[in-house]
Structure formats: structure tokens, C-alpha cells
Structure 1
Amino acid sequence: MKILLTNDDGYFAPGIQALAKVLAEEHEVVVIAPEEEHSGQSHAITIKHSLIVKPVEIEGVDVEAYSVSGTPADCVRAGLDKIVPWKPDVIFSGCNAGYNAGMDIIYSGTVSAAMEGVLLGIPSVAVSARWVKGRCRYDTAASVAKKIFDKVKKPFLSSAKPMVLNINVPYLDEDELKGLRVAEIGDNAYDYYFEEEVDGERRLSLKGRSTMEHAPGTDRYYLERDFVTVTPVIYGLADAEEMDRLKSWLDD
């Protein structure tokens, strides 16, 4: 199977190294990832200047790899258009340093890179590992993600409507995980705020904190209880039910 592997933490990040190592055991893998970290840039693309593509090495893994001077979404689109000589069967993005659960998927470069694959008709998998005091269990996250993919790959790859499987993995040994849950996207339980400093100029630094209990059945609810979560994410900017509601308002 042919796999394009990307991320938002950069081609040098330990998370992509761990995932490349696991996937390359059985598949043909090409890494196309940002030359710098692009966390929190969502689905941004580069339009004001050219992208620079360079061959790079992923430490400890014998795979073809390239860095791109752009965003995660740039990496996927440029990779499919100009860099990879074949169409991937699936795109993997990760392993990200920190969960991409709840409202964080809106901002996530990891999930957006996977979604770029879906926009181009390719099923994709986003993988994220819990961040604890500057460390992640990338080994666990990569292993779990591959096992989930192996279990669902036949219907997943043949689905008429491509989707992103958004996988989040707690900071635990694999045998310590409580299990797997297909979970809803959590609500706005993660509240971002700014800390302000005034020292010659006004400075605002983005921070985050948990402000409420997470609703049962959501990704953050299960992650707090040491379950791996998987959420199917599809592309769609217009909700059919809300479109009907809007039509009814305009028809009145």
C-alpha cells in the first residue's frame, strides 16, 4: 500500500519518525512535511510566494522524505501534484504533539492536512498523542493508529465518501489503555484566553484552560478516562438541515 505521511510539527519531529517507522514495516511510505513547525495553523495555504522543496532524512527510518517551506495543507497538495509520482491509497498525518480533540480540531494543522487529502478524494488518518510535561508516548500512538487502520482499512478505503479518522491516544503504555471508543467531537469545554503584558508595548499571549466537565460520549470525556478515541470527520461547509432552515426564513 502507498502512503503519504505528513504532520504539522515538522519533518524532524519525533512523532512523524515514530509513525514512519511503524508504517514503513509493511507499506511504501513517502514523507512530505513542513520544514518548520506549523501547529495551530489550521487549513492555511501559501499563496504569496513559492514553496521550496528539499530532500531530507528521517532519523532511523529508510523512507523517501521531503521538507516543504509551507503549511501542512501545502505539503499534501504539493505532494500529490508535483512530488509523489503515484496517488497514495491513504494519507497519514501525525503523530501530533498533543491531543487534537474537541474544538481543537478546528485549529489543528494535523487534522487539516488529513482533511486536505479528503478534499482530493483520498481517505486520511490524523494521529495525536497526549502531551505531558513536554513528552508524548509516540510509540503507543503510532502502534495503536496502525492497528486501528488495519482493522478498518477495507471499508474505510472503499467508502464512497472519503473521511478523516481522527485518532487520539493517551500517555500510557499500550497495555494500560482502557480500550477504544468511537467518540463525538467535544463541545467548547476547552477555553482559550489571553494573558496580557504591557512593557513598552502591549503583548497578548494565548493560553488555554479547562473550564467545565466534558460531556459523556465526547472525545475529551473518554480521553480523561484513558480510552483511545476515534472520530470520523467529513468535509462539509454547509449543513443540509440549516440550509433548509435558512430557506424557510427567506421564504417567509
Structure 2
Amino acid sequence: MKLLLTNDDGVHAKGIYALCKELEKYHDIIVVAPEDQRSATSHSITIREPLIVKKVELPGLKSKAYSVSGTPADCVRMGLDQLVESDIDMVISGINIGYNLGTDVLYSGTVSAAVEATLCGLPAIAVSTHHDAEISMYDTAATYVHQVIEKAVKNKLQNDIVLNVNVPSIEKQYIKGLKVCKIGTLQYRAFYRESKREDESRVYTLEGEEIVDQIEETDAYYVGKGYITITPLHYDLTNFSILKDVTKWF
């Protein structure tokens, strides 16, 4: 298969390198990723500035790679429109440096790049692991991505679905298995701290801590128990459970 790889951590990030190193053993790969860090950009796209594309050499890898001066969603659009030489079969986004669990999927550039692929009519997989993971754990995560791709192809993953995969940052022998589950509600105890003043302006930085979701049968719960989680996502955010009720209001 021909796969387009992208991320939100930048083209030189360790996660996308590990992913490309593993997947190019089996597939034809092209890497199109942001030129630098673009985490938490969600599904933003660049509309008021030109995009700059550069060919990049990733030492030790045979696959073609390009950097884009835009967002993860830009990278998918640019890759599919201008950089691929034949049809892409699937888009893989990651391996993100940091889990994308619960409501983090709404902020994630990694997940949004995969969602952009589905808007372009392609199935996609987003994959993440803990931000403190060792390099070897990214390699482990990449091997599991290969397995997920095989299952997705065998079962004809629809072209409007993203499989959001989170791999716990533990040694392979301690991973308990795989759970297909719903997302939870990941929250943060966040606040802004005034760091300094410049002229008449105030400068603030975002600080805080994560409040881990412990609700059973959710992605955050199972990752905490040592399972790889897979959550099918779709871009239709309609709340169907109250659609009829709201219709009655009007």
C-alpha cells in the first residue's frame, strides 16, 4: 500500500521517524509533516499566508520526506494535492509525543490531521504514546500500528473513519492487550500565570496539571491499566440523542 505519514510534532520528531522506519518495511511511504512543532493546533488550516514546502532528508530512511510551513491539516491537504505521485491508500498520523485521550482529541493536531484525511476520502489512523516514552517504546508502538493497519485493511476500514490509537509507554512484555473503547472526559486544572510585563502589555503562560479520567471502559482508563486502546472517531459532531428534542424547541 501507499501511505502518507504526518504528525504535529514536526518532520524531525522521534515518533514519526520510528513510524516510518517500521512501516517502510512493508509499504510505500511518503512523509509530509510540519517544519516544526504544531501541537494543539487542532484542525486549523493556513489561508492568509503561502505554504513553503521543502524536501527533507531523514537519515537512515529510504522514504521521501517533506516539511510544510503550516499545520498538520495543511500537510495532509498539500501532500495529497501536490506531493504524491500516485493515489494514497491510507493516512497515518503520529506517533504523537503525548497521549491523545478523551477530550484531548478536540485539541490534537495529530488527530485532526487524520480527520482531514477522512474529509479527503481516505481512511486514517492516529497514534500516540506518553510524552516521556523511551525511543524503544516508539519502536514498539510502531509495530502495533503495522498490526492495526493490517486489521483495518482486512476489514475494509471505511474512508470516513479515524482509528485513534494510544499505546501505553511500557515495555512490550507488560502490554496486556488491546481494547476498543470510547473516549473519556480528560480534564485539566489549568490557569494562566503572569510571567512578565513588557511596556503596557501583560504576558501570560498557561500552566496546570492533568486530571486523569478514571471512568471505566474509556481510553484513559484502559491505557492506565496497560492496554493499547483503539477508538473509532468520526467528524460528524451531531448529538443525535437530543436532535429530536431540540427540533421541538423551534
TM-score, reference length from structure 2: 0.93
- Shift in Å, 1:137: 2.1
Distance 2:100 2:168 in 1: 11
User: What is the aligned partner in structure 1 of residue 138 from structure 2?
Assistant: 138
2:3–2:89: 8 Å Cα contact kept in structure 1? yes
- Shift in Å, 1:247: 1.1
Distance 1:162 1:221 in 2: 26
User: What is the aligned partner in structure 2 of residue 120 from structure 1?
Assistant: 120
2:184–2:213: 8 Å Cα contact kept in structure 1? no
Equivalent residue letter for 2:69: S
| Structure 2: stretches of 5+ with no match in the other structure | none
User: What is the aligned partner in structure 2 of residue 104 from structure 1?
Assistant: 104
Is 1:194 aligned to 2:181, yes or no?
Answer: no
User: What is the aligned partner in structure 2 of residue 174 from structure 1?
Assistant: 172
Distance 1:105 1:145 in 2: 18
| Cα deviation 1:153-212 (Å, max 9, x = unaligned) | 22243x3x520010001111212101111111011x321512412532533222342336
Distance 1:7 1:68 in 2: 11
| Cα deviation 1:131-162 (Å, max 9, x = unaligned) | 228878211111111112212322243x3x52
| Structure 1: stretches of 5+ with no match in the other structure | none
Distance 2:151 2:237 in 1: 30
User: What is the aligned partner in structure 2 of residue 245 from structure 1?
Assistant: 245
Aligned length, in residue pairs: 247
| Cα deviation 1:66-90 (Å, max 9, x = unaligned) | 1111000000011111111222110
User: What is the aligned partner in structure 2 of residue 78 from structure 1?
Assistant: 78
User: What is the aligned partner in structure 2 of residue 32 from structure 1?
Assistant: 32
Equivalent residue letter for 1:225: K
Secondary structure at the residue paired with 1:193?
A: strand
Equivalent residue letter for 2:188: D
1:31–1:66: 8 Å Cα contact kept in structure 2? yes
| Cα deviation 1:27-80 (Å, max 9, x = unaligned) | 000000011110000001000111011111122211011111100000001111
1:191–1:210: 8 Å Cα contact kept in structure 2? yes
Secondary structure at the residue paired with 2:155?
A: helix
Distance 1:130 1:47 in 2: 32
2:196–2:204: 8 Å Cα contact kept in structure 1? no
1:99–1:129: 8 Å Cα contact kept in structure 2? yes
| Cα deviation 1:96-136 (Å, max 9, x = unaligned) | 00100011110000000000001111000001011228878
TM-score, reference length from structure 1: 0.92
Superposed CA RMSD in Å reads 1.8
Equivalent residue letter for 2:77: R
